Chain A
Amino acid sequence: MLGIGVQTQNVVTDIDPAAGFSILKGAGFDNADFSLNSYLLNTDLYQDALNKFFDKSITELEDYFLPHKAGAKENGITINQMHMPYPIFIPTGKKEVNDYLVNQVIPKSLQLCSFFECPHIVVHGLKLSQFLGSEDLEWEQTEKMLDHMAPMAKEMGIVLCIENLYTGVGGHLIEGPCCNARKAVERIDRFNEKYHAEVLGFCFDTGHANLVGIDFETFIAQLGGRLKVLHIHDNDGIADLHQIPFTFAKLRENKASTDWDGFIRGLSKIGFDKVLSFETAPVLNAFPLEMKEDVLSFIAKIGRYFVAQV
């Protein structure tokens, strides 16, 4: 049975997390993607600016998130996926920052994922091909990082989900890590075989795929059962806007310029039965605050449309 989920970011606050989960439930969601990445922003990390959030001990962090966990539970929301802060390595960054990411942020993120009883955590692959010369060499480094996480993930029953990403040249967003489904399939299978467990899976991001011209149907069909979680959002094919599906058209006919039919066909083909999770937190910044619940309801309604189609 397909579930419908959305990010907690911009809805669930630290002041009153239960209220946020109540809004999600009221809008029609039964799952949530816990935005752990919003506690350590990538924009700060790229400036070597570490906040102190992950300095807390795991006990302190669990205490911090106890109301969130309780709020989700009392509103019948399952945390089905979580986003680890990213990037987890900055090639041009300070050693001190990279050490902190590896030794503090990664293990504590996994522990928090386990604390929320969340089965999937989305991990960004390293963006190193410009320096190392090829995507294969880049993956070797990502795999080392995943090797660092895998024993812990295995013990906790968490699936690490790699995500298709982009990189940029002159503002043009192009294929980044994990945009080749064939390679992803081979790598996931090999990795899981190494750990004798399903510790690695895939997170398909529709917006990133649209930016880099990936054929949704073919990509999803190639991934098959390795596809564990989704980041559903839309854009104009140029910028990573994280908007509501069916928002963008390019021609006067005003038909959607994102291949949602291909997306539905792909999910149908593989018999996807997990959560249709929307990564549309920025939409809530675009609409007036007063419309937040209406917007969330509309997103959930699109989710129900997808469920019916898939």
Chain B
Amino acid sequence: MNVGCSIKKVIDIERPGQGIRDLKNAGFQSAFFDLSVAFAKNSNGQLDRDRTEKYLNDNIPTLFSKINECGIAVDVMKAPYIEQRLRKKVTPDYLKELALKSVEIGVRSHCKFLVILPFDTDSSNSLYDYNKNVMLDAVEHLVGTNTMILVENRYKNINGHFVRGFCSDETEAVGFIDELNRIADDQYGKRIENGEYLPYFGFCMNVGTCNLCAQNMYDFAVTLGKRIKAVVLRDCNGSQDTAMLPFTSVNAMASQTDWLNLIRGLRAIHFDGELLMDFADTASAFSPILKPQVMSLAKATADYFKWQIEIERLLDKYSSRVLFGAGNMCRNYMKNYGEKYPPLFTCDNNKNVWGQTFEGLEIKNPESLKELPDDTAIFICNIYYREIEEQLRSMGLNNPVEYFNDEYMPSFHFKRIDAVTRKLDKEEN
């Protein structure tokens, strides 16, 4: 999985130096090049087409080179899309022209993926055909390249309320992508790269859009499956179309985005594509003085998602393992992974439970970890990770120490055990 960061509100198209430095210093090695940064507005707040043309023709290639020179790859580009409030006097033909121009830029820049947000029209009957024709018009640019167009899910705006729009229905999106590929393959021939079929079209799952449309992201991801080549991670409150850093749109001490079903879904399809951070609103809201810290947090957050999605790979990395902790997290480990990745035993600092059996595991004194072979990994199944890790290191253990986390498990028990009494809150049904 490749982690990238959108350049929107991170890099200034006219003064890109500082933004590129912030991106690099935060540890991002890949930039998600959103060509909407080329949109310029006039004094009336409307689209300034002349300046936009200049940006697209002059500034964008320069910016692209500067990013590359810093060792940051640009694997994914996004065709410009025009916000509703800038739509006045912008014709569908101009939007189409921009999309096709973006494909040319993407191909010329050797990007792996070019994301296109489908177009919006009032008639749902013509919507499918209109978008199909625009996408197919772009295919000729893809022949002989390895660039793939990714169609993104979009919403429909009902007087300020967002509902499911074109390709928001996962089954419709599957049909659309598959039909595009079928026609493109017939017309231009199947593309083969390194002996493998390389379709012309794939899908980009925009998490913020799914959240605005309150969708079941597990079903969404699982239905689209391997067609999903990129995931745009952005948070919002579910009613306003904002791009916030994940975990920052909160209410009543909980996130307002269904990260559980997103992570479950991406795990289920073994997602291994582009994981792209888009937090333009968060980046704008913070003072430029704090931007480097925001960027570092964004990178840490992206890495965390990658780690969560790939958690099973981590379990699979070791041939033997033990757990540290004999509570609910241990219980969740055993429910979801106990059979496939069985631990030798678990241990706990609570001496009252030593010698007892829990979820089929013997609970041992942590001192017994000293008897483990060096290559047995210790998975900490307790939220006091850093404290326990320090304890293990102070014991002089050389074993790999890993964190396990049960926030996004494939399934959960109906009831949890009480931390003090170690009994189920109510009897199990």
Contact = CB atoms under 8 A, between A and B. Distances in A.
Given A131-B412, A213-B212, A169 B427 contact: no
A257 B171 CA distance: 26
Nearest to A213: B213
A95 B429 contact: yes
Interface of A: 91-95, 98, 129-135, 166, 169-175, 179-180, 182, 210-215, 217-218, 237-238, 249-251, 253, 255-259
- 9 nearest A-B pairs in the assembled complex, by CB-CB distance: A250-B160, A213-B213, A170-B254, A212-B214, A257-B161, A172-B238, A172-B256, A133-B411, A170-B256
Given A131-B414, A180-B219, A238-B239, A256 B164 contact: no
Given A170-B255, A213-B213, A213-B214, A131 B163 contact: no
A135 B216 contact: yes
B218 A182 contact: no
Contacts of B211: 172, 174
Interface string B385-429: 000000000000000000000000011111100000000011101
Interface stretch (B99-107, B151-159, B373-381): B151-159
B219 A135 contact: yes
Contact of B216 (A171, A175, A255): A175
A169 B255 contact: yes
A255 B159 contact: yes
Contact of B237 (A172, A182, A253): A172
25 contacts: A92-B415, A92-B426, A93-B426, A94-B426, A130-B260, A131-B414, A133-B264, A134-B219, A134-B264, A170-B250, A170-B254, A171-B252, A174-B238, A174-B258, A213-B155, A213-B163, A213-B164, A213-B212, A215-B163, A237-B161, A237-B162, A249-B160, A251-B160, A258-B158, A259-B158
A280 B161 CA distance: 21
B287 to A, nearest CB: 27
Q: B interface, by DSSP: helix, strand, loop or mixed?
A: loop
B215 A213 contact: yes
B328 interface: no
B414 A257 contact: no
Interface in B210-254: 211-216, 218-219, 222, 237-239, 249-252, 254
A259 B163 contact: yes
A170 B252 CA distance: 6
Given A133-B264, A133-B411, A213-B162, A95 B252 contact: no
Given A179-B216, A250-B159, 5 more contacts: A91-B429, A133-B410, A135-B216, A172-B237, A214-B164
Q: Interface centre among A95, A170, A210, A215, by most B CB within 10 Å?
A: A170
A251 B159 CA distance: 7
A256 B163 CA distance: 14
B242 to A, nearest CB: 13
A210 B171 CA distance: 20
Nearest to A256: B159
A213 B208 CA distance: 13
Contact of B427 (A95, A212, A213, A257): A95
Contacts of B425: 92
Contacts of B261: 129
Contacts of B264: 133-134
Contact of A175 (B159, B212, B214, B427): B214
A205 to B, nearest CB: 14
A109 B282 CA distance: 51
Contacts of B249: 170
Contacts of A130: 260, 412
A169 B257 contact: yes
A237 B410 contact: no
B210 to A, nearest CB: 9
